[in-house]
Amino acid sequence: MLRLFVTAGCTATATVFYAKYELHEAQALQPSNISIKGPPPELSDLKLRNVQVFMRHGARTPIKVLPYLQQASWPVEHLMADPPGLDKFAYRVRDLRGDSLPMGLYETSQRNVIFQGGCFPGQLTSPGKQQLYDLGQRLRKEYVDEKKLIPGIYNANDIYIRSTNITRTIESAVWLVSGLFGIQKSDSRTPNSIEIFATTDEEEILYPNFMFCNDLGRLMKRVSQHIHEIAGLLEDREILEKALQFDHVNNKGRMNFLELRDEVTSRVAHGLPIEPILEEWFDKIDHYAVEFLVRMISGTDKTADSQQDILKLTAGPVFELILNNMYGVLHRKNRFKLEVYSCHDTTMIALLLVLSLFNGKWPPYAADLRFELLEDGKTGHLYVQVKYLGAAQSLTGVEGETAFGSKLYPLDDFSRRFAELAVSQRHHRDLCDQRRPHAQPIEGRGGDDEASYFTMSKAQALPQQK
């Protein structure tokens, strides 16, 4: 029996998880056993009811200092400035209950490092702000001007904004909303500030939470132990380490392709120089980084069952959120027309893997993945359309495509295809404490350093007990 989603299903009261709409008790619904048959609906008969936008933050400074490279300068007065001629909304960050939320543990740890020029690691820069503003303007053209989903003035009753509790994603959400609505100071309806919802690092679901999901932490070590399975990686790393005069002792380990890719792409996005050998090797650096990250998100065992188990850990709560939002609209429990989720490359790749849309290319800065919910005005049937980087996508294994040959999918068919991967946050906690064979590291074998890109230690992250 397939469960459909209208509740948060992750806390004692649903209002805590969403801070959006109230449901007094968990409800289990059954989808219709009859798929919608016949020709696809006429586009002119379709009305957009709800859009969920998941986007990656904009261009930023690198995550870490790589001491074996010649250091670039990241001038704070230039890179941290707002784009010229653009205004942004003031904002407040609230937890999912609506209370104030302090800076996250991860963000706090980043502030302990300062690059040459004065910037912190992982900060949204002026080009990144511009990227999100531009994305907001594209969304305005589509959802305000053309499809009339929302009015052109910000209204908290129409739009819900959630972010990870990291400054670059929070600011990315602010710049997207600023581009979407503009700052119309002469209009009395323009709010003094907008609210952005977030949660603690321990409770975060908007990225694969390697630090606080125990089984993902074990998987991270297992993937590091199996790095030799990525064809050519060890041999090419040896060559590149020699070319860069990488010192294993001083750098306390081996060269990390994820960190190296991050450094190179950050510099390129800001027009900063990179060493010629890194430009020459970038395709291989990118390839190995992508291969490793996909294994971190979907596991080393490529059987369908094991990948599904791992994807439940890395993306399951987010997909539950997506389906809950859709059925919340259906049952008039979700009033929001536009829902914005500001997140990370790992989030985007996890969702793309679930949807079988990942093409091996790292999501660019300000990449967007949208879930549109449309209603047929003649029949009342609801359809889902998925867009990545602005283009509608074909989904494998969803019955609606076979019936229609289109990129519109009946909501029940869409849910039937992906519901098995969706898990509530409470269930996710239980799954994180289990030990799956395909997530277990090999006892007695040391790991590689590649996974250090993802986490700091819990001892470093958690407040010290006195």
Cα 134–Cα 137–Cα 143 angle in degrees, nearest 5: 140
DSSP state of 355: T
CA neighbor of 326 nearest in space, from 385, 285, 275? 385
CA pair distance 63, 113, nearest whole angstrom: 10
State whether the Cα torsion 164-122-89-132 is positive or negative. negative
Q: Please list the ranges in the chain whose pLDDT falls under 70.
A: 1-40, 184-190, 400-405, 436-466
Residues 312-323: pLDDT tens digits?
999 999 999 999
CA neighbor of 166 nearest in space, from 87, 11, 264, 61? 61
- Give residue 465's pLDDT: 41
E-state strands within 175-332: 193-197
CA pair distance 395, 417, nearest whole angstrom: 10
- Give residue 75's pLDDT: 97
In the chain, what's the furthest Cα-to-Cα distance?
A: 70
Supply 88's token pair: 């942004």
- Give residue 367's pLDDT: 98
CB 327 within 8 Å of CB 4: yes
Supply 95's token pair: 């937890």
CA neighbor of 51 nearest in space, from 319, 424, 325? 325
Contacts with 203 (C-beta within 8 Å, 6 or more apart), sequence order: 425
Crossing angle of helices 304-330 and 345-354, in 10° steps, is 100
CA neighbor of 452 nearest in space, from 221, 219, 298? 221
DSSP state of 143: I
CB 323 within 8 Å of CB 7: no
CA pair distance 317, 320, nearest whole angstrom: 5
CA pair distance 24, 331, nearest whole angstrom: 13
Q: Tokens 């390697």 appear where?
A: 210
CA pair distance 349, 359, nearest whole angstrom: 10
Phi, psi for residue 161 in degrees, rounded to 5: -125, 125
Helix, strand, coil abundance in the chain, percent, nearest 5: 40, 15, 45
CA pair distance 411, 379, nearest whole angstrom: 13
- Give residue 224's pLDDT: 87
* Pairing verdict, β 193-197 and 90-94: parallel
Contacts with 227 (C-beta within 8 Å, 6 or more apart), sequence order: 233, 234, 292, 448, 450
CA neighbor of 195 nearest in space, from 19, 16, 13? 19
CA-to-CA dists, residue 349 to 208, 345, 356, 436, angstroms: 10, 6, 10, 22
CA pair distance 180, 171, nearest whole angstrom: 14
Contacts with 283 (C-beta within 8 Å, 6 or more apart), sequence order: none
As a whole number of Å, the CA-based R_g of the chain is 22
Supply 136's token pair: 């907001």
CA neighbor of 373 nearest in space, from 384, 363, 381? 384
- Give residue 2's pLDDT: 32
* Pairing verdict, β 391-392 and 382-388: antiparallel
Supply 251's token pair: 């750098």
- Give residue 156's pLDDT: 94
DSSP H helix total and E strand total for the chain = 15, 9
CB 246 within 8 Å of CB 68: yes
- DSSP H or E segment with residue 372: strand 368-376
Break the chain into its structural domains and give their ranges.
Answer: 214-298+445-455
Cα 440–Cα 207–Cα 166 angle in degrees, nearest 5: 130
CA pair distance 95, 18, nearest whole angstrom: 10
